Amino acid sequence: MSVLAQEQSLEERIQAAREQVCSLHAELTRYGLVVWTGGNVSARVPGAELMVIKPSGVLYDELRPENMILCTLEGEVVPGTPGSERSPSSDTAAHAYVYRHLPEVGGVVHTHSTYATAWAARGEEIPCVITAMADEFGGPIPVGPFAIIGDDSIGRGIVSTLRGHRSRAVLMRGHGPFTIGATAKDAVKAAVMLEDVARTVHLAAQSGQLQPLDPLAVDALYARYQNVYGQSGDDRREPPAPITPTEGSTDVPRGTAN
- The H or E element that residue 216 is part of is helix 215-227
Q: Can you give the residue ranges of every domain in the chain?
A: 3-231
Flag whether pLDDT at 103 surpasses 60: yes
Residues catalogued as catalytic: 135, 229
Kindly report whether the global pTM for this prediction surpasses the value 0.85: yes
Tell me, what's the pLDDT at 237?
55
Buried b (16+ CB within 10 A) or exposed e, 204-226: eeeeeeeeebeeeebeebbeebb
- Over residues 143-159, the pLDDT tens digits come to 999 999 999 999 999 99
Give the contacts of 239 (CB within 8 A, at least 6 positions apart): 1, 2
CB contact at 8 A, 164 and 1: no
Q: Cβ–Cβ contacts within 10 Å for residue 114, how many? A: 15
Q: Mind listing the pLDDT tens digit for each residue in 193-223? A: 999 999 999 999 999 999 999 999 999 999 9
- Looking at domain 3-231, its CATH architecture is 3-Layer(aba) Sandwich (3.40)
Q: How far is CA 178 from CA 28, 56, 99, 135, in A?
A: 13, 17, 13, 18
